Amino acid sequence: MQRGKDVGQEPIDEFERELRQALERRPAPPGLKRKVMAERGRLRTERIRSRTVIWQRLAASLALAAVVGGGFAWREREEERKGEEARRQVMIALRITGHALNQMKTQLAAHHRANGD
Amino acid sequence: MAHDWQPDFEQLVDEHQSMVFSLAARMTGDRGLAEEIAQDVFLELDRHLGRMESAAHTCYWLRRVTMSRSADALRRRRVRCMDLWIEIKEAHGASAEEKESPLGARLEQMLATLPEPQRAALVLRYQEDLTPEEIAKTLDAPLATVKSQLQRGLKLLRAKAQSHLKEFVRAKG
């Protein structure tokens, strides 16, 4: 601090002393601190509330995503299961057909033998 | 950057409310607006409390933000010097009368008629007792500019005082 010196680094004169005296800090209005603290409290509550809303929205979004994802996974598994079932049925059908053909072949062979071919 | 200083917001408001309010009031010339600015500045301080490194840093930060907010408010309201003078006269008539020195009251009114950069430099110099270097840092202005604003502001204020306050001139000889 440079009390006793003016801007040009020369000793301060009476005018500057008066100016310094005139520009002493004024007391703040009596309610200023109360208003600041009240507004701070309000803003904090608002911030907490909006943070809660954000978390709630996030949780809801995650739940929705889980439901949708689960639905897709279930559908995929169901399709896989159906595909497996269809393949199994085709294999059974092929086995039955093979069996029938074998039987037919055996009967035809027996028939030819009986006719003396 | 980690620092050990743990500020208490309420204590900071207590400690600096007079400085912040006085700076804003002298820059805007409007008590109501100054109170609004002071509120905004402290609420901003609350948001930035974690970044304050020391008591001195907080004081510097408060001065800087108050000056910048006051300049913004003035720009928004497009207050001209004469309007400001009239406003100050209306808003602070009672408090001016309460002052012991009538010259002091007149000086404060005359200060309000100065161009904003000169007023800012003079308020920081004579209210806050800052050096030109500190003023330059606070206002984010070149040192030479601040020195010139201080000199020109002081010269203008002296001229106004000489023409308006004959008794002061007589007392000076």
Domain ranges in chain A are: 14-114
Chain center to CA of A55: 10
Closest-CA residue of A relative to B146 is: A7
**Shortest CA distance from A24: residue in chain B:** B127
Closest CA to A23 of B39, B65, B57, B154: B154
Residue B165 has pLDDT above 70, yes or no: no
Single-letter amino acid code for the residue at A22: A
Chain-chain contact of A40 with B46 (C-beta, under 8 angstroms) = yes
Q: Cα dihedral angle (B6, B10, B13, B16), rounded to 10 degrees?
A: -50
pTM to 2 decimal places: 0.69
Beta-carbon contacts below 8 Å between A and B: 102
Q: What is the distance between the alpha carbons of residues B69 and B111, in angstroms, rounded to a whole number?
A: 19
In angstroms, the separation between the Cα of residue B156 and the nearest Cα of chain A is: 12
Query: Any CB–CB contact under 8 A between B161 and chain A?
Result: yes
Residues of chain A neighbouring B120 (CB-CB closer than 8 A): none
Q: What is the ipTM of this complex?
A: 0.75
Domains of chain B (ranges, CATH numbers)? 1-79 (1.10.1740.10), 99-173 (1.10.10.10)
Non-local CB neighbours of B46 within 8 Å, separated by 6+ positions? A40, A43, B9
Q: Could you say which of A19, A26, A43 has the minimum Cβ distance to residue B18?
A: A26
Q: Rounded distance, CA B81 to CA B79, Å?
A: 7
Report pLDDT digits (tens) over A24-72.
999 999 999 999 999 999 999 998 999 999 999 999 999 999 999 999 9
**On the CB side of B50, how many CA atoms lie within 13 Å of its CA?**
3
Tokens of A6: 């003016």
- Chain B, 75-104: which have a CB under 8 Å from a chain A CB? 95, 99, 101, 103-104
Is B62:B37 a contact under the CB 8 Å cutoff?
no
Residue in B with minimal Cα distance to A2: B131
Tell me the pLDDT tens digit for each residue of B54-70.
Answer: 999 999 999 999 999 99
The residues facing B15 across adjacent strands are none
Contact at CB, A7 and B132, closer than 8 angstroms: yes
Strand partners, A5: A11
Shortest CA gap B170–chain A (Å): 12
Lowest mean pLDDT among A46-50, B10-14, B77-81, B146-150: B77-81
Helix (H), strand (E) at residue B156: helix B143-164
The neighbouring-strand residues paired with B140 are none
